[in-house]
Structure 1
């Protein structure tokens, strides 16, 4: 009887918690919004490329307050917010704007599992936009700037024994009043500009580690030499400590190597299995830190053997190559926005859904547009088999935009502070995502927005990661630097420039609009480059553009990006509606013509 009462009490408390939270506003929502559970919010492990067995998710209902800039911590909070959904989103349960003159405060408590007593406790934030300060039990433990990369603090010295731990977070985000990277966020969204995203927008979690532990993995495949280079960073290591790496093909161990901490391990692989969108094979790994013959730390990871490069073909055209073969890359512009969660997908199934639909359309690539996704998104791309072009989220102002000529003059004169922010955050993004094999192209600038010191930044990007191609400015002011000349043209494909020394691509085209009543973010003022009235018309126009593109593939384009995966707020030019409830084109016909476009490179 007593056990039944306890179970009923837990169910009742869960009901009360759910009753306190509900999505806000009357905007459209995805089907996954109804599956969001405040007691189990985005429960999946947030860092699948370096996984430990023990961890604890801190997502859920926290207290929040919006205060004037510069005030002390609130004595009373405004209500509850569902972390990790941005305060402006419906799923946060708040749906309020903050702005540069205010600060967003969070407060919650958490407990440390009893089995973790002799461990160091790391507090992880997946991403917080933009400037974050963190307190544990009234002690400030650290701060961070940057809206797109994870950060963590070792909170061990500040944890109290046998008590709930108090966590307070303060966030300031100037949105488009500041020079920081922000993507499409603006205070007054309209047209191609969207709602601001302030505060925590990725999973918050803790994990126990030993004083000696693995902090990062960097994997670099070398297809030409049948080898994988793996570097494990370690904190607290001493002379004589060893890293052991075991490689698995499925459940079968195929390699085992050891090296002293700090050394790269270059592991040769026999009977190499290459990764591609058609065959996305991943090798699994176990990385162990050994001290005095004891395993002190252990993580699971994976890697893929793939090579991205470029080479002149028999007709003198510089082509993109995948695994040393000419390969036409074709995919949608993917902005990663959600009507209910804004930057944050409501569930992991939702996060994966857009990639699955992209594959269903016959594409082999995604251009991730001026946004960085949670780590699970990149693992889904690795597992499903999709190439990724990763944009740097744009910020600051835009100089004169000259798209149709080579342009060697007008660039943005960023302030020293703005330039420092850009370089710090772009380096952090590249370092953070380095080991995800699906990423094959870095894009520092989009359409001249924030474009400055183009040659210098492009060379700096290329030197930071020479294993990938660098697309210096997608559709922007064109300088003869980097690996790619990237043209934008709307609505249909056009090759108005060509570069005989670099890869030439169509970085954006299309934008065919179809507003569907009942699936619109706003009732009117919806936007597309061209608009049609039904699925048949939109599909026919898409096929018309694809036929034109097919001819350009033969004459020089090595990749193309269609705008876009889904409608986003006021934009109605997606393959799917913003709520993902309607496919707006005939997907089978689109897949058939997309396959023809991709195969056109093999039938020059």
Structure 2
């Protein structure tokens, strides 16, 4: 009876906590916001490219406070926040601004499952913007800077019995600082959006042995039907072995063992090539064996695909996919949400925009000045979409020359700013290296914080020679990297050409259609051109696409249309910001997009 009463009290307490939370503010929301369960927030395994069988999700209601910069941990917290939604978002339940003069404190309690006794306990953060300090049971276990990449701490030595206390402090200066921030500004307007501060991806626990696999890199070579796999092993010793089993569906096609410190080259006979039309993935099981015993095991995958460039019979440098000319065509994808800002309200929502992009007939997405959670890239791998990955730059350039090769003075960053850029760009590339959907790295966009362009482009190519480098989307232009990328609004225009590199139209379009009851702002909504209904907007889109086909024959090898959805004050999406209305005629768009893509096919 006593146990039953305690259980009833627990249920009542949990119900009260859940009832207290609700989305903040009166902005538009997606359909997924209506079914948020605070006890089951983004509950899917957060790192499917390296998946273990056991883990614990720490998302949910935490305590929060906003304090002045430099203050001690508050004795009393202000209220509840729904992690991992950023504090400025509606779904956090808070929707408060922070800024450079303040910090956000988080606190929660958790228990470690008893079956994990004897294991190393890792505390993972998907992403926290920007500087995070972390305490376990009032002992500081570490810090991390960088708003877009995962990080973790081995918290085993700091754990006690029973309930454990986790405290996180975050500082994010937005555009008062020198860190990468993408489209975030403290005074959002036009193409600039609401700040995102704090935890914005899943927080989770994972048990491992002392010896464990820390990271996996896969690099396919379709020209000789092999894949190279490298497993980075923690606490490896002589005699440790990595075993890789490769599956085609349920069938084992290869099983290879190698000394743990060595790259493993695996033959893939009659390889099935990955493409947007046929996104086949080989699944893998990777074991770490020490003294004859399996001490770690993860599931992963890879794809046999190649991205390259080559001159065609007319001397135009074309992008190639799997050694064939292939026109890449897709939308500029900001990855913002009216209710969660940087954070999609559910995994279904995260996947939804990719599915709709495929429905529109596109084969590519340019992920614009933002980095997504790991699950987004796995969705791209599985659904079949090429990805151009931008660096989320901060800062501006003293001058932007978009219509000619740059002949001015490049921006000189401070030593601190340059160090931050280099550190975070490398971490982003390391984080995303093994996702086959990613085919282009984009270090700079429209001269935002652009510096040492040739050096950065050369470093990027040297660090990952398996992908193309688009050094400066929209300029400032240099004869470096693999791509010359032009921006022109609203219609396509080929005003600069490079005979020795791929020439692409990295942004165009921006056709606006504001729809009442689906607007973030009630006035001053913005598009490069605006129309009154879906037919007019679709007609204009088709007209641009028809003109684009002529320019493809003259030299364009890829194009990016602005954009997937409306975002805050921008009303130039294929969908409304709340994803509730498809604003253009998707069937007509699909038909013309497929014609555009087939322009290069023989």
User: Which TM-score applies when normalising by structure 2?
Assistant: 0.99
The yes-or-no answer on 1:44 pairing with 2:36 is no
Correspondence for 2:555: 556
CA distances 1:16-68 after superposition (whole Å, capped 9, x unpaired):
12111000000000000012111111000000000000100000000000000
Equivalent residue runs for 1:383-462 within 5 Å? 383-462=382-461
Correspondence for 1:106: 106
The yes-or-no answer on 1:497 pairing with 2:496 is yes
The yes-or-no answer on 1:313 pairing with 2:338 is no
CA RMSD of aligned residues (A): 1.1
3-state DSSP class of the match of 1:270? coil
The alignment of Structure 1 onto Structure 2 pairs a total of residues equal to: 602
CA distances 1:141-163 after superposition (whole Å, capped 9, x unpaired):
000000000000000100102x2
Correspondence for 1:340: 339
CA distances 1:329-385 after superposition (whole Å, capped 9, x unpaired):
000000000000000000000000000000000000000000000000000000000
Q: Do 1:399 and 1:451's aligned partners in 2 also have CA atoms closer than 8 Å?
A: no
Q: Do 2:51 and 2:300's aligned partners in 1 also have CA atoms closer than 8 Å?
A: yes
Paired with 1:528 and 1:88, the residues of 2 have a C-alpha distance of 25
The yes-or-no answer on 1:227 pairing with 2:243 is no
Paired with 1:255 and 1:196, the residues of 2 have a C-alpha distance of 48
Paired with 2:309 and 2:111, the residues of 1 have a C-alpha distance of 52
Instruction: Kindly state the Cα deviation for residue 396 of structure 1 after the two structures are TM-superposed.
Output: 2.1
Paired with 2:12 and 2:594, the residues of 1 have a C-alpha distance of 54
Instruction: Kindly state the Cα deviation for residue 409 of structure 1 after the two structures are TM-superposed.
Output: 2.4
Paired with 2:6 and 2:284, the residues of 1 have a C-alpha distance of 42
Equivalent residue runs for 1:92-171 within 5 Å? 92-161=92-161, 163-171=162-170
Paired with 1:501 and 1:18, the residues of 2 have a C-alpha distance of 60
Paired with 2:519 and 2:76, the residues of 1 have a C-alpha distance of 37
Paired with 2:396 and 2:476, the residues of 1 have a C-alpha distance of 14
Paired with 1:18 and 1:411, the residues of 2 have a C-alpha distance of 53
3-state DSSP class of the match of 1:446? coil
Q: Do 1:212 and 1:234's aligned partners in 2 also have CA atoms closer than 8 Å?
A: yes
Instruction: Kindly state the Cα deviation for residue 546 of structure 1 after the two structures are TM-superposed.
Output: 0.2
3-state DSSP class of the match of 1:358? helix
Instruction: Kindly state the Cα deviation for residue 111 of structure 1 after the two structures are TM-superposed.
Output: 0.3
Paired with 2:433 and 2:105, the residues of 1 have a C-alpha distance of 32
CA distances 1:108-149 after superposition (whole Å, capped 9, x unpaired):
110000001110000000000000000001110000000000
Q: Do 2:120 and 2:154's aligned partners in 1 also have CA atoms closer than 8 Å?
A: yes
3-state DSSP class of the match of 1:191? coil
3-state DSSP class of the match of 1:275? coil
The yes-or-no answer on 1:203 pairing with 2:202 is yes
Correspondence for 2:507: 508
Correspondence for 1:599: 598
Equivalent residue runs for 1:205-604 within 5 Å? 205-602=204-601
Task: In structure 1, list runs of 5 or more residues that go unmatched.
Answer: none
Q: Do 2:396 and 2:447's aligned partners in 1 also have CA atoms closer than 8 Å?
A: no
Paired with 2:156 and 2:529, the residues of 1 have a C-alpha distance of 57
CA distances 1:235-284 after superposition (whole Å, capped 9, x unpaired):
11111010000000001110000111110000001111000000000000
3-state DSSP class of the match of 2:599? helix
CA distances 1:215-235 after superposition (whole Å, capped 9, x unpaired):
000000001010000000011
Distance 1:32 1:445, change over 3 A: same
3-state DSSP class of the match of 2:500? coil
Instruction: Kindly state the Cα deviation for residue 8 of structure 1 after the two structures are TM-superposed.
Output: 5.1
CA distances 1:560-600 after superposition (whole Å, capped 9, x unpaired):
00000000000000000000000000000000000000001
Paired with 1:437 and 1:66, the residues of 2 have a C-alpha distance of 40
3-state DSSP class of the match of 1:602? coil
Correspondence for 2:75: 75
Correspondence for 1:31: 31
Instruction: Kindly state the Cα deviation for residue 10 of structure 1 after the two structures are TM-superposed.
Output: 5.2
Q: Do 1:17 and 1:38's aligned partners in 2 also have CA atoms closer than 8 Å?
A: no
Paired with 1:144 and 1:221, the residues of 2 have a C-alpha distance of 32
Correspondence for 2:53: 53
Correspondence for 1:63: 63
Paired with 2:599 and 2:238, the residues of 1 have a C-alpha distance of 56
Q: Do 1:399 and 1:450's aligned partners in 2 also have CA atoms closer than 8 Å?
A: no
Paired with 2:292 and 2:263, the residues of 1 have a C-alpha distance of 20
Correspondence for 2:12: 12
Instruction: Kindly state the Cα deviation for residue 408 of structure 1 after the two structures are TM-superposed.
Output: 3.2
CA distances 1:62-81 after superposition (whole Å, capped 9, x unpaired):
00000000111111101010
3-state DSSP class of the match of 1:400? coil
CA distances 1:168-205 after superposition (whole Å, capped 9, x unpaired):
00000000000100000000101010000000000000
3-state DSSP class of the match of 2:600? helix
Paired with 2:398 and 2:120, the residues of 1 have a C-alpha distance of 48
3-state DSSP class of the match of 1:466? coil
3-state DSSP class of the match of 1:225? coil
Paired with 2:121 and 2:474, the residues of 1 have a C-alpha distance of 45
3-state DSSP class of the match of 2:223? helix
